[in-house]
Amino acid sequence: MKYYNKNKEIMLILFLSLILRILLSFFGSQHLDLGTFIAWAHILQNNSLTAFYNSWSDYLPGYLYVLWLLGKIDLYNIIPQTLLYKLPSILADITTGLFIYKIINKSKGKTAAIVGALIYMFNPAVFSNSSLWGQVDSFTALTSIATIYFLKENIFLSAFFLSVGTLIKPLTAFSFPIVLFCMYKEKWRFSKIFSYISAGFLIFIISFVPFWNHGSFLNFFIERLSISANQYPYMSVNAFNFWGMFGMWKPDNIVLQLLGYLSVLFAFFILAKKISKIENFEYYLLSFVFAASFIFFTRMHERHLLAVFAPLAIVVAENPLCIIFYFGFSVTYILNLYYSYIWMAFDFKKVFSDFAIKLIEIMNISLVISMFWIFARNIKVSWIIVRKKILSKFNHLESEDFALPKINIPTNIEKQILAIILLFAFLSRIFDLSQPTNMYFDEVYHAFTARVILSSESNKAWEWWNTSPNGFAYEWTHPPLAKLGMVLGMLALGQNSFGWRIPEAILGVGIVYLIYLLTKTIFKDNAMALISAGVYSLDGLALVMSRIGMNDNYILFFSLLSVLFFIKNKDFLSSLSFGLAIASKWSAVWSLPILGVLWIWRNKKFKKSLLW
């Protein structure tokens, strides 16, 4: 409990980012990769480990142990399969965020650490790989950061993470030059260096033993390394980098490989020499190595840039000027991922023109060159200066004498105006509500399913495998509250269009009233509250959604009600309302950040220092 009270901000961030990733995990899967992982897990379950490499696989043993465990869990059907196979990467994201927080907190303090964790955990570029695509590049980020972090804390843990990370994703080995440079800089004794390398190499070697299935172990070991390294002998495997300028999937050769390796290695040595006295220089180097290797190495995939974001988030906390690189790479990474996802999922369809791709590639090249220049020259901007600039803008705004005119409306007049607004809202939503008498738009899902619930075949409303009549569909993707509301309407007023639409109309009027109450509660201004309610009652979209049998007014009504009760410190009623909102539509989860901000405000814990 003491640990939680001391670190509750980061715990809240990690919890919310976990919830976000779990919710997103059911969407956007790259079925080729995810299906391969599932197939490998089944092979590992049905055969011994030694038999695994009898079938095709370009992976080293590291992630195969994870898949073996996932296969065991999958047998019990306790976690949806898609979520289960994305969960390791999701947890890797969360753990990486915690490492980022700990590293920055040690050097820059708690506020900067929270900022660093936030920009990483809620970066779409990061969770698009783990939660949507379903790949495991998050382990490269985690193990490379852990390798550097434990280099000063525990050399055996550092060696462990370097070895395991390389076994899962060989790109983790790109952090080894930083390890060697730190050994040189800190003047490690030979015995310490030998212990580090021996421990890491031993872990690496032993992991292959359970899979050894033919020939001498040395030949088997070399064979697996060769297969993994040479599976994609191309200049660029859909990566928007330097080699992509010459076209995707073009064969590479040893000359091009060496050109890339030597260029990055040369730049690394120059940079290491120049910045070795900067605090947390290791993460500057790690950021550059991952960015430069993606740009100038051959055989790079679109996903391989992911590892840059973890060390770069730490660098941003040290030097806010580097947010340019963080934002720039985030944009190009998402574009690259989207291009490759569509290309793989839709028979090599290209969503960007060749010209657009080259522009993105030039942007990536420019970013890594600029990164080298900024790092090497140690061009920095202090967070203190940034904070003063931002605060001066706010102070300037606050100094301007501007206020809305105060309109004093007597209570009886206020009630009369409110009654007129609500009456108008009711009449506009109820008038000729039964037209059209047939189901239209998404009523063919929601209202149709509600009618099925009332029929003798009610079980079909909850079973996804049933075939629906032509032009209709059983709606089971959303929670059932809205459909049950339509059932009540039809029980009371008959199985007709008026019956399934009347609950939505009534809730639409209720939303107008809740907007009035919320505005009055927040701003303490009855005139503003009446104006807000009146404007909403006239809104075309609000009117349309109140005259159709769907679930949108249900979620909006109960979400607003939850917020209102929370502001008034009625937590039980707020949680009950939130539950009803979730029971209407999963999207109600997006009210959680609002409730989180209100919690900070309600407990008088909001400070400017939470933002910078």
Return the ∠ at Cα 394 (arms to 392 and 398), rounded to 5°: 115
Q: Is 538 exposed, middle or buried (0-12, 13-18, 19+ CB in 10 A)?
A: middle
Range 73-91 average pLDDT: 96
- Burial pattern 5-37, b for ≥16 Cβ within 10 A else e, equals eebebbeebbebbbebbeebbeeebbeebbebb
Confidence band, pLDDT 50/70/90 cuts, at residue 602: confident
- Give the C-alpha separation, 587 to 554, whole Å: 11
pTM: predicted TM-score of the whole model, two decimal places = 0.68
SS3 of residue 234 by DSSP: strand
The Cα–Cα gap between 169 and 255 comes to 24
pLDDT, mean of residues 402-427: 81
Which residues contact residue 302 at a Cβ distance below 8 angstroms, ignoring those fewer than 6 apart?
Answer: 237, 238, 239, 240, 336, 337, 339, 340
Q: Is the dihedral of CA 233, 239, 244, 249 positive or negative?
A: positive
Q: Please determine, for residue 612, whether its predicted confidence score (pLDDT) is greater than 50.
A: no
Least confident of 71-80, 145-154, 445-454, 493-502: 445-454
> What does the pLDDT average to over 145-152?
96
| Confidence grade of residue 380 (pLDDT, cut at 50, 70, 90) | confident
Q: Which residues touch 357 (CB under 8 Å, ≥6 apart)?
A: 240, 244, 339
pLDDT at 609 exceeding the cut of 60: no
- The one-character DSSP state at 464 is T
Q: How many residues does the chain have?
A: 612
pLDDT for residue 387 is more than 90: no
For CA atoms 61, 65, 70, 71, the dihedral sign is positive
Average pLDDT in the 117-131 region? 96
Res 210 pLDDT > 70: yes
Question: Is residue 472 predicted with pLDDT exceeding 90?
Answer: no
Lowest mean pLDDT, pick from 2-11, 213-222, 229-238: 2-11
User: Can you say whether the dihedral through the CA atoms of 165, 170, 176, 177 is positive or negative?
Assistant: negative
Q: Quote the radius of gyration of the chain (alpha carbons, Å).
A: 29
**What would the pLDDT profile of 473-485 be if each residue is shown by its tens digit?**
877 778 888 888 9
- Give the mean pLDDT of the chain: 90
Query: CA 95: distance to chain centroid?
Result: 14
pLDDT at 405 over 90: no
Q: Torsion angle, CA of 514/517/522/524, rounded to 10 degrees?
A: 160
What are the pLDDT digits (tens) for 65-80?
A: 999 999 999 999 999 9
Give the residue, 79 or 453, on which the prediction is more confident. 79
Tell whether omega for the bond before 436 is within 30 degrees of 0, i.e. cis. yes
How high is the pLDDT of residue 611? 44
Q: How confident is the model at residue 610 (pLDDT cuts 50, 70, 90)?
A: very low
Interval 171-209: pLDDT, tens? 999 999 999 999 999 999 999 999 999 999 999 999 999
Q: Is the pLDDT of residue 567 over 60?
A: yes
d(CA 261, CA 272): 16
CA distance 373 to 50: 49
pLDDT over 60 (residue 324):
yes
Instruction: Tell me which amino acid residue 580 is.
Output: L
Task: Check residue 1 and give its pLDDT.
Answer: 58
| Across 315-326, average pLDDT | 93
Whether 464 shows a pLDDT value over 70: the answer reads no
3-state secondary structure of 238: strand
The neighbouring-strand residues paired with 251 are 234
The pLDDT, as a whole number, for residue 411 is 82
Lowest mean pLDDT among 224-238, 293-307, 371-385: 371-385
Cβ neighbours of residue 194 closer than 8 Å, sequence gap 6 or more: none
- State how far the Cα of 466 lies from the Cα of 449, in Å rounded to an integer: 12
pLDDT digit string (tens) for 520-559?
998 888 888 998 998 999 888 888 889 998 888 999 999 9
Is pLDDT of 451 > 90?
A: no
CB 545 within 8 A of CB 557: no
In this structure, what DSSP letter does residue 468 have?
A: P
- Percent of the residues in the chain that have a pLDDT greater than 70, as a whole number: 93
Both structure tokens of 512: 């107008």
Q: How far apart are CA 387 and CA 74, in angstroms?
A: 49
pLDDT band, residue 127 (cuts 50/70/90): very high
Q: DSSP character for 236? A: E
Q: Which pLDDT value is given to residue 399?
A: 46
- When pLDDT is cut at 50, 70 and 90, the band that residue 386 belongs to is low
What is the share, in percent, of the chain residues with pLDDT greater than 90? 68
pLDDT at 6: 76
| pLDDT score, position 384 | 66
Q: Looking at the predicted structure, is the pLDDT value of residue 278 above 70? A: yes
Give me the residue label for tokens 């927080």.
101
Q: How far is CA 478 from CA 325, 448, 517, 585, in A?
A: 40, 14, 29, 6
